[in-house]
Chain A
Amino acid sequence: MRGWLSPIAIITAATAAYFGGPFLRFAAVYILGWSLAVFGAWLLLRYGLVNFGIGASYALGAYAAGLMYRYLHTADLAVHLLAAVGAAGAWGALNGAVGIKTRGIYYSLLSLSLSMVLYGVLVKFYTVTGGSDGLYMPDPRLLGVRIGTAGLLALAALLAAAWAALGEVFGRSYAGHVAAGIKINELRTSALGADVGRHILISSVLASIAAGLGGLIVGYSTSHVSPDFAYWVTSGKMVVGGLIASFLPWTWGFVASAALYQAVELYSLQFAYPELVVGGLLLAILAAWRLYYRR
């Protein structure tokens, strides 16, 4: 039963948002999409890996669908999902394989560099990717029918619930315990028989797929994807989200963290220097949690 708590909490919150009017509906889709990228960052943090390039996966999920529409003229949801999972999964495998021997700040810098290479490609190859203007994202269709706002909200909620369920399972699993071992004492964990590289590679792929699906949802919600999705500042925000989620005691913390962050960012827009407000509030939140858990 305990394992179902997180998916149920997410579905319930999404249902409430549906009845809360158009703004809440849009906000819920956006937050749930964003939360999947936060989940990716959070999963890698379980291994002690700070991925400052997770935005690349987020971008690839959306671009994969945008390119499908632009070149194959298909808005079919199943095709888009497959393309997003394939592109983000392949990217996760690349990131995992390249980063398999790097840890700490070197891993962070390497993942950041890879994402900025992708960012550069997205900006430079205007004719293919739409350059800095990005690409149009169509309303997805399921069996030929537009899924609409309600359908998109349902899709976002189902995806977030599915990843939350995976998070619950992971926490109690052999793999989750190995992650904790790798984070605290990697050498000891290999001396106990764990193939550390394999664990990190698999989780890199999973994290990247989660983030890619998140980008797809957010792209749908704004009908648009741009290279900003892959920009390192975007990744940084996701990492902060993952950190906050890792301080929260529930697996659905990644959604709570995403909601919190988006609320703070929205609130900050009324000020002259929104970045300062966001930064200050996030620092305050982190400090408060640290103090709370020290007791």
Chain B
Amino acid sequence: MSLRKSFGGVKAVDGVSMDVEEGERLAVVGPNGSGKTTLINLLSGLLKPDSGDIYFKGIRVTNKPLHARVKLGIARSFQLPSLYQGLTVRQNAAIAVSALRGFSLRPVDEEDVRDALERFGLWEKRDLPVGSLSEGEKKILDIALAVVARPKVLLLDEPTSSVAEENKFELMEFVVGRLKGVSLVIVEHDLDIVEAFADRVAVMHSGRITAVVPPGEVRRMAV
């Protein structure tokens, strides 16, 4: 493994090796600019590493494009919710359902759209434009779109950022409760949340993972 990625002179990810177990919830913590988002981008296929390899269930996926990794079972959410502005919640979900179908002229299966939204309690909001959702709801919809692909690993980049402090815990409980059995890689700043939801914690610093510890010990590390 030992992933590396530089932007010009900046070594954003500088030799990272790690594994995620099936069903495990791995938190990644570290200061701003330590390379967490870049790591997620490498794993999801948004960026190609300068060196190193990525394996998923024994298959080398390093050179597989984003969409091919989704079909294998690697999905992601975005730090800033990446929704289809100007469209409704239902239309957003319909695009997520359609994205998995190839170039098909068959009509969109409304049952699938409904399932995707009901799972995350968004069916009642289906006719609202996504711009009118609260920050928390946007985060949830962003994750709901990613989950349509039934991923085996879901990469969550700061799922609680931009959500009000008092709602973060509730949001994570809601989301994680609906993702039983899915391996999660969670980039998160809030240590209360890390302690409550992670099985293991990777601490990142200047593009390197400096320690992997159980959640109870993360407070003793200088983050």
Contact = CB atoms under 8 A, between A and B. Distances in A.
Interface stretch (A26-34, A167-175, A257-265): A167-175
A193 B70 contact: yes
A191 B107 contact: no
Interface string B32-76: 000000000000101000000000000000000111101100011
A172 B91 contact: no
Contacts, number: 106
Contacts of B107: 169, 172-173
Nearest to B142: A188
B209 interface: no
A195 B108 contact: no
A50 to B, nearest CB: 19
Given A175-B103, A187-B46, A180 B84 contact: yes
Contacts of A188: 78, 82-84, 145
Interface string B70-113: 11000110100011111100010011111111111111100000
Contact of A191 (B70, B97, B101, B108): B70
Nearest to A194: B99
A177 B71 CA distance: 18
A124 to B, nearest CB: 37
A189 interface: yes
A195 B104 CA distance: 12
Interface string A151-186: 000000000000000100110111111101100110
B187 interface: no
Contacts of A203: 103
Q: Is the interface of B mostly helix, strand, loop or mixed?
A: loop
B171 interface: no
Given A188-B82, A192-B95, A174 B46 contact: no
Contact of A180 (B67, B91, B145): B91
A113 interface: no
B170 to A, nearest CB: 26
Nearest to A180: B95
Interface residues of A, number: 28
Contacts of A192: 70, 75, 95-96, 99-100, 145-146, 148-149
A286 B70 CA distance: 40
Contacts of A177: 91, 94-95, 97-98, 108
A12 interface: no
Contacts of B91: 177, 180
A199 to B, nearest CB: 6
Contact of B84 (A175, A184, A199): A184
A198 interface: yes
Contact of A174 (B67, B83, B108): B108
A173 B99 contact: no
Given A173-B105, A175-B103, A185-B84, A191 B76 contact: yes
A17 interface: no
Contacts of A100: none
A189 B95 CA distance: 8
Nearest to B86: A184
Contacts of A166: 105
A202 interface: yes
A193 B65 contact: no
Contact of A181 (B65, B78, B84): B84
B216 to A, nearest CB: 34
Given A173-B108, A181-B84, A184-B86, A193 B100 contact: yes
Given A184-B87, A188-B82, A175 B66 contact: no
Nearest to B105: A173
A196 interface: yes
13 contacts: A166-B105, A170-B105, A172-B107, A175-B105, A177-B98, A181-B99, A188-B84, A189-B95, A191-B44, A191-B46, A191-B70, A192-B70, A194-B67
Interface of A: 166, 169-170, 172-178, 180-181, 184-185, 187-196, 198-199, 202-203
